[in-house]
Structure 1
């Protein structure tokens, strides 16, 4: 039951767009967007500092004094705050427009001093909740925008807080951006593995006893698999674009790690494709099993009917209004002393003969 509850119907992702004719880079907040909160992480090889519920003043005070700055903005309701963040880090206005217009296709854009990555991430593995995340990074900063609380970045935060030697605190902003992107990609593995286990469970149940709810589960899961496929394919292309880039703020050694993340994304695509083919095969098998069961029932009913049709004919003939006194052809056996058991015995012989004939023809 718990596994069955894991398969849920997901609402389609809707992309919000600026009004027709609006100036490029116009930011329009979603009325349902969450309240914006900032978390500032200041990083150097020797130490780190985290400021929860940070403010613009914290940014202006600390950003120039630390080698790497990671600003995480949760919630996209405060357009003025997002615009101010864009001004401080010199983020391109068209990219900021894509930040607030959620539902974007995964992609990578390069600007003069920073890169912009759009992805979809799982912020709650238990309920399979997805959201858009935007990642900006340059020479000394990483800025992430999330729709709501919850993300797969806790392992990255723990690595930043761990003791030396610490690669995350030594390698710069591009490596931190890689670590965040890699965490997002790896977060897809648990739900995909859970879906694989559920598919195996459905297959075992189906082989024992095909049920209607199994078909519904498989259709819902295949819909989710198609949605994953639509996310992972452009994600793979975005990672490949990052690796092929020649911008100065992405170092060659970081591209080696990004290439590993690209391999992970390709592995996810293969897993999803395999799952989709498996579910398609199970749907076809369910239809075949249901049809075979229907044919079996129809065969049994046909055989029973074929046996009782001649018996019904015999009984019908004996049940006609004959008068043996009128003519010897009017069923003289109606007055026979053993007429009734003889008739039953004759009908039994007919039934047994039909069953033997069906077995000889291998219909039974």
Structure 2
């Protein structure tokens, strides 16, 4: 999961110009093309219209108990603004849809709620995107930056034959199901990070290795991103549960409470992973330092052994004249002087080696 060999590029989000009127919609030049998917929901049937138009929404709005508009791509701000006006969405909330760098939050208005979330777009690439969820008495509207989402289980439940709780309940329950899918989508990247941490831990049992520190720092940065998303996500879910607006029923709050438990579990997992990585980084530094100390100790011992040998070689290598004085190294004329000198120096080396072993320095 940790891509240490590839450069990571961050795209700067386009913001509303300074001084613009509140609710001004400015499209990001890099935004994906807008595509609408209209799902019409009744207790005993369901109908889906892909590539829907505003006219399809207007024609179907009053004939179905619940409608779900899924808008992927934020390039067509005119269509987004028209949907906002059609359902009476607050202009500031619609502006937050286009400015897709919002902190996860939940806001409540007279007849609808707005929830901004970060969802996992690609678990393997650690790519996230903002998803905005509006829901009121008979509608749910989702805006996402590009196609691809974790809503397929919800779509399959809506399309299932027979009695269906998702079709039979009100719009707030559908909004809960979508939010729950977003929250559950975080388990996949967190499990991938756990696998990476376990692999690094196993590799580290053999000692510090080059490249592990970089991988751990990349993983810790990813965990920091997850932590920064999950904590406000928890607050948004708690706000949905605490609110007293009539379009969020008591029954749905029970299910939202379960989603809040999932978010808390994710936060606990991320905190545990962060602590584990911190411990592994400290362990790697300790192993590296210990290895460095071992090398320095070995080099010091080798140098210590050769110091007296170097001294003797230096002394015997001086220019002496034994004919001038008996103090001028008479052993230079010894027949076995050279092997005797080598044996003497070898004895000193063994004596120093034994002394270091006795002191448990080796």
For Structure 1 versus Structure 2, the TM-score category normalised by the shorter chain is over 0.9
Shift of 1:316: 1.0
The aligned counterpart of 1:98 is 96
Per the alignment, residue 42 of structure 2 pairs with: 44
Shift of the 125–289 alpha-carbon distance from structure 1 to 2, 3 Å rule, reads same
Report deviation, 1:123: 1.7
Aligned equivalent of 2:289: 291
Cα separation, 2, equivalents of 1:105 and 1:354: 67
Aligned to 1:57: 55
Partner Cα distance (2:114, 2:276) in 1:
36
Instruction: Give, in angstroms, the shift of residue 96 of structure 1.
Output: 0.3
- CA offset at residue 321 of structure 1? 0.6
**Contact 2:2/2:219 (8 A) holds in 1:** no
1:16 is aligned, of 10, 14, 17, to: 14
Q: Per the alignment, do residues 72 and 128 of structure 1 end up closer, same or farther by CA in structure 2, a change over 3 Å counting?
A: same
Paired residues of 2:112 and 2:137 also in contact (CA < 8 A):
yes
| d(CA) in 2 for partners of 1:150, 1:239 | 23
Q: Aligned partners of 1:354 and 1:72: how far apart in 2?
A: 81
**Aligned mates of 2:247, 2:185 — CA distance in 1:** 26
Partner SS, residue 332 of structure 2: helix
Q: Work out the CA distance in 1 between the residues paired with 2:328 and 2:245.
A: 109
Q: Verify the 8 A CA contact 1:9 1:220 in the aligned structure 2.
A: no
The one of 120, 137, 140 aligned to 2:138 = 140
1:227-275, Cα deviation, whole Å (9 max, x unpaired): 1111110000000000001000000000000000000001111111111
Residue 213 of structure 1 deviates from its aligned partner by 1.1
Q: Secondary structure at the match of 1:142?
A: strand
Native 8 Å contact 2:183 2:259 kept in 1:
yes
Question: Offset at 1:164?
Answer: 1.9
Q: What is the match of residue 33 of structure 1?
A: 31
- Determine the structure 2 residue equivalent to 1:149: 147
Give aligned pairs, total.
Answer: 362
Change (3 A) 1:348 1:209: same
Do the aligned partners of residues 338 and 6 (structure 1) sit closer, same or farther apart at CA in structure 2, a change above 3 Å counting? Answer: closer
Task: Check 1:10–1:170 CA distance in 2 against 1; reply closer, same or farther (3 A cut).
Answer: farther
Contact 1:7 1:221 in 2 (8 A): no
Q: Which residue of 2 aligns with 1:219?
A: 217
Asked whether the equivalents of residues 34 and 148 of structure 1 are also in contact (C-alpha less than 8 Å), the reply is yes
Query: Quick check: 235-244 or 123-132, which moved more?
Result: 123-132
Distance 1:196 1:7, change over 3 A: farther
Q: Structure 2 vs 1, CA of residues 256 and 6 (structure 1 numbering), >3 Å: closer, same or farther?
A: farther
Distance 1:281 1:232 in 2: 22
Contact 1:119 1:133 in 2 (8 A): yes
Structure 2: state its 5+ residue gaps.
none
Q: Would the aligned equivalents of 2:37 and 2:70 in 1 still touch at CA under 8 Å?
A: yes
Q: Distance in 2 between the 1:328 and 1:42 partners? A: 117
Does 2:360 align with 1:362?
A: yes
Distance 2:352 2:64 in 1: 94
Q: Is the CA contact (8 Å cut-off) linking 1:13 and 1:103 kept in structure 2?
A: no
Q: Distance in 2 between matches of 1:76 and 1:202?
A: 40
Q: Which runs of 5+ in 1 are unaligned?
A: none
| CA spacing shift, 1:354–1:334, aligned 2, 3 Å | same
Equivalent residue number for residue 184 of structure 1: 182
RMSD: 1.4
1:224-303 equivalences under 5 Å are 224-303=222-301
